């Protein structure tokens, strides 16, 4: 079945470090791909998305590129801040399936 | 203005009780969802309604019953609560074209003691 695999956390970085959170997916067609972020005590917020191969989603300094050949959608940021500390979820969606499938989440902690 | 609002935010109850969680969205979305997030942060869909009609019902015990009185509301009723039901429950909504992603509520933390 369709699934999403994320790198296990927690990931701990110093402020201004470069961030990569790996995400790969298994799917039979061409789903839309998303990154959601969950700050402590809050619900999930859409961070960025890409709906077709080679699309790059970006928001708040974060980027991810839809790579069909490697079935990946890795999240990157050039210089992280303490305020980026949160849990990040990679997800996929088929319009026909009517549900988003989430990865297991990666907790990110940024040290001042 | 809160887009997707859930009540209550926290719910502590004893085993065997029956409880409800309410969800409302003011975005004009057609589809609403319930997700369960366990202690390890894993998110799993439970139910999905489109225009008051049930379209997804994952493997969830019969003790869980969703109700959608109109397309802006999706409530979750849980009978005979068990310790294993303790989790954070998230409501979400989306447009018919779901490529826009979902809008989530802030969650209801249910603790069964």
Which of residues B28 and B96 earns the better pLDDT score?
A: B28
Query: Residue B108, CB half-sphere, CA atoms under 13 Å: how many?
Result: 26
Q: Do A102 and B103 touch (CB under 8 A)?
A: no
Q: Is the peptide bond before B17 cis (omega within 30 degrees of 0)?
A: no
d(CA A75, CA A62): 7
pLDDT band with cut points at 50, 70 and 90 for residue A87:
very high
Taking CB atoms and an 8 Å limit, are A44 and B104 in contact across chains? yes
CB of B39 less than 8 A from some CB of A: no
* A1 against A80, higher pLDDT: A80
pLDDT for the residue numbered A22: 97
Which residues in chain B touch residue A96, judged by CB atoms under 8 angstroms apart?
A: none
- For residue B58, name the pLDDT band (cuts at 50, 70, 90): confident
The stretch A67-83 carries a mean pLDDT of 96
pLDDT given for residue A76 in this prediction = 98
Residue B46: count of CB within 10 angstroms of its CB: 18
- Best interface-test mutation with A: which of B51, B102, B105 has the largest number of A CBs within 10 A? B102
Non-local (6+) Cβ contacts of B21 within 8 A are B6, B7, B8, B11, B75, B76, B78, B89, B91, B108, B110
Closest CA to B102 of A59, A102, A41: A102
Q: Which residues from B are below 8 Å from A99, CB to CB?
A: 33, 45, 48, 56
Picking from A11, A9, A6, A7, the residue whose alpha carbon sits closest to that of residue A109 is A11
Task: Give me the pLDDT at residue A71, please.
Answer: 95
pLDDT for the residue numbered B1: 67
Q: Contact, A110 vs A82, CB < 8 A?
A: yes
Q: Which residue in chain A has the smallest CA separation from B54?
A: A98
* B48: nearest CB among A42, A98, A104: A98
Contacting residues of B for A45, CB less than 8 Å apart? 104
What string of H, E and C letters represents the secondary structure of A43-110? CEEEEEEECCCCCEEEECCEEEECECCCCECCEEECCCCHHHCEEEEEEEEECCCCEEEECCCEEEEE
């Amino acid at each position: 079945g369709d699934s999403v695999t994320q790198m296990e956390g927690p990931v701990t970085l110093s402020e201004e470090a470069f961030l990569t959170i790996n995400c790969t997916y298994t799917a039979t067609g061409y789903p839309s791909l998303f990154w959601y972020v969950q700050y402590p005590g809050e619900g999930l917020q859409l961070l960025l998305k890409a709906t077709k191969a080679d699309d790059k989603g970006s928001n708040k300094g974060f980027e991810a590129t839809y790579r069909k050949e490697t079935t990946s959608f890795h999240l990157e940021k050039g210089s992280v801040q303490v305020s980026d500390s949160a849990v990040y979820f990679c997800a996929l969606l088929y319009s026909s399936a009517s549900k988003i499938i989430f990865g297991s989440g990666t907790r990110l902690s940024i040290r001042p | 203005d809160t887009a997707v609002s859930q009540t209550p935010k926290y719910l502590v109850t004893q085993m065997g009780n029956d409880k409800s969680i309410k969800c409302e969205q003011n975005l004009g979305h057609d589809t609403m969802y319930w997700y369960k997030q366990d202690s390890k942060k894993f998110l799993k869909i439970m139910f999905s309604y489109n225009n008051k009609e049930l379209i997804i019902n994952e493997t969830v015990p019969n003790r869980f019953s969703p109700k959608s009185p109109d397309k802006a509301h999706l409530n979750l009723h849980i009978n005979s609560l068990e310790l294993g039901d303790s989790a954070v429950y998230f409501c979400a909504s989306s447009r018919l074209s779901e490529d826009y992603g979902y809008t989530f509520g802030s969650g209801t933390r249910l603790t069964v003691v």
